[in-house]
Chains A and B, each alone.
Chain A
């Protein structure tokens, strides 16, 4: 259903080659560069040789194409069905886009067909008009490289005003929240859902402030493979840059890099595995776990 040559890197790259070959003065080097830029690392050994040898008779000896126009292909039914499915998603309102040509198309899935069962309940209000307006203004500011000034409610419930250059958005499916990535101020990110007022900033700098680069820290864990802990932890920590190593049939070392700002979250994620995941290094992180355990011990749970 999904695994089809119609979507393949090879078809896409050949389409680019034929398009380029329609232009005058094309060289073999130009075409090779297209393969390097758009195909896989070893495709250079296949695509152009197949075209030049006539194995795929689409390019003549003088590198002119047999086709008369730049190759195109209509959108497949699969693509339309997927678009129809996401048209039902409340988050689509952020983009204000009208999805074209989908009349009579059956969605690939509906919202009744699946559930994200462990997503947090206090996600952003994606259908709220003010939220949508803020999103769109910041999106425009990112694209036009303009500064904005916002008023937001911080985590202590206080209103704060900040001006900065928005550089992108970061979305977390777990939190169901969008964060604005910033530069030109000392904060690295803001929760879009906390913004209560947002407009372009028309004043001038100075823009000397920069958010601190987010430091990544190393963490070494010892996994004891009982109650399927190995698979559970490997999947749970899969989204980090990581390396695993087997010690013996039951023990594994997992080394990963996490972002310093997420340290508290990492502590509770590790605690969730109970005695099957133990922090080995660094000592400072071991201390954080010990503090939690000491505090638990003082609760006198019987």
Chain B
């Protein structure tokens, strides 16, 4: 039994070994936040209390409580326009470690304090003993423990291993000066994929003025950073993956085998989707990253490049994330809006917000939008934003068109517009 496991069995710690559990709680507290303690029944009450306490320890400034008849609710509330750094990055800085891990870490880099200092394993162990003999009951390290840690650090790129004859010499990797990149790192740590890595870099910088703030800033994706990084790795290496996926229709995750092709990120709701080829079903599907866990990289996919080229061809018919290989079943969407003389901003809206399709002026006061897409339903929320000026519509998917019109009638009823008796 490791020190770490022993510790967790006996005492609460702010730190965690596995991010998966905490990921689920943060999401619940932040996105929903209306559940009370008893509703987290899938997990034990002790587990709930520990996770809540941890999240409060990391994100206390954003934690709120409400008392309802059903009990006390805990939730996270963040105005991301007012915070200059994504608070959820803190959760990625709470990994547990053993007493030996932290001791080794600081001793290794004190002994190997510059890249020109090269030591063998036994020299390192001897020097560590000299550091530690100053304590009453000195901690000791055997060579295999130190070798394992050095190998791990070599994989992280912070230690170099060089063979000289039969000896292996260890040194620290040359450092990279990022001190003049503070503004750039601040910006991209909030707007680039896997921005948490930028936050790790920020921790290395001296305190400085925060220049940037962010509007329409979705911060939830931070908790899926590791999933995203692993998917990028799989895409980079053109590999199959197997992944546990909690689909819409299932209460338990199912394992699927996929060829990951591209990540689709929304700037309007923060969702991240993987567009992937499901070989067994011969389908192109979208998978939400926040529903994924336990990604395993597998063998290289020989047809990755062909699949990637093929997806580039179908993209121009995707409004959201739904897509297919075949263009045979595209749905035609067409609607017209009235635009008064002083409303040219509406035309600009159509032009900048359309992701595909065309905008055409029909007469002095009317414009037509038309597109052929895989899924009309994905477009409905956008078309609804033009409510107040839609004069005509023609969808080849009649069900979607009827649904749209029914929804408008329902809204008339909801808001008691003229008795809500339809159009």
Contacts and interface: CB of A to CB of B under 8 A. Distances in A.
Q: Do A and B bind each other?
A: yes
B184 A8 contact: no
Contacts of B196: 2
Contacts of A71: 106, 109-110
5 contacts: A5-B102, A11-B102, A67-B107, A74-B157, A294-B418
Interface string B190-232: 1111101110110110000111111111111000011001101
Interface stretch (A110-118, A193-201, A205-213): A110-118
A157 B94 CA distance: 51
Given A41-B60, A69-B113, A242-B77, A118 B267 contact: yes
A293 interface: yes
A187 interface: no
B188 A168 contact: no
| A79, A268, A278 — most chain B CB neighbours (10 Å) | A79
Interface in A1-19: 1-12, 14-15, 18
A171 B96 contact: no
Contact of B197 (A82, A170, A272): A82
A238 B60 CA distance: 18
Interface string A147-161: 000000001000000
Contacts of A244: 32-34, 75
A109 B236 contact: yes
B293 interface: no
Contacts of B232: 108-109, 113
Nearest to A4: B95
Contact of A113 (B235, B345, B354): B235
B352 interface: yes
Interface residues of B, number: 144
B77 A243 contact: yes
A5 B193 contact: no
Contact of B192 (A89, A117, A238, A286): A89
Contacts of B109: 71-73
A4 B19 CA distance: 10
Interface in B310-337: 315, 318, 320-321
Contacts of A293: 387-388, 408, 411-412, 415, 417
Interface stretch (B162-170, B175-183, B367-375): B175-183
Contacts of A42: 14, 53, 57
Contacts of A230: 32
B414 A275 contact: yes
Contacts of A79: 197, 200-201
B57 A40 contact: yes
Interface in A186-238: 228, 230-232, 234-236, 238
Nearest to B66: A243
Interface of B: 13-15, 19, 30-34, 53, 56-58, 60, 64, 66, 68, 75, 77-81, 90, 92-97, 99, 101-103, 105-107, 109-110, 113, 131-132, 134-139, 155-158, 172-178, 180-181, 183-184, 187-188, 190-194, 196-198, 200-201, 203-204, 209-220, 225-226, 229-230, 232-233, 235-236, 248, 262-271, 308, 315, 318, 320-321, 338, 345, 348, 351-355, 380-382, 384-385, 387-393, 405, 407-408, 410-412, 414-415, 417-418, 423
B203 A301 contact: no
A2 B228 CA distance: 10
Given A2-B196, A108-B229, A235-B270, A10 B79 contact: no
Nearest to B335: A301
A117 B321 CA distance: 8
A66 B191 CA distance: 40
A211 to B, nearest CB: 15
What are the 7 tightest A-B residue pairs by CB atom distance, in nearest-first order? A77-B157, A82-B197, A275-B410, A292-B388, A272-B381, A295-B388, A5-B97
Contacts of B99: 50, 55-56
A11 B156 CA distance: 16
Contacts of B211: 139, 142-143, 168-169
A116 B267 contact: yes
Q: Give the secondary structure class of B's interface.
A: mixed
A284 interface: no
A102 B201 CA distance: 15
| B80, B131, B351, B385 — most chain A CB neighbours (10 Å) | B385
Contacts of A168: 210-213
B102 A301 contact: no
Given A71-B110, A174-B267, A268-B385, A57 B103 contact: yes
Nearest to B345: A155
Given A14-B102, A69-B113, A272 B382 contact: yes
B418 to A, nearest CB: 7
A95 B187 CA distance: 10
A175 to B, nearest CB: 7
A52 B195 CA distance: 35
Given A108-B233, A300-B423, 4 more contacts: A42-B57, A71-B110, A170-B214, A296-B390
Given A10-B97, A57-B132, A120 B180 contact: no
A78 interface: yes
A299 B411 contact: no
B269 A232 contact: yes
Given A97-B180, A238-B220, A299 B391 contact: yes
A5 B387 contact: no
A181 B213 contact: yes
B288 to A, nearest CB: 10
Interface string A83-104: 1011001011011010111100
Contacts of B14: 40, 42-43, 46
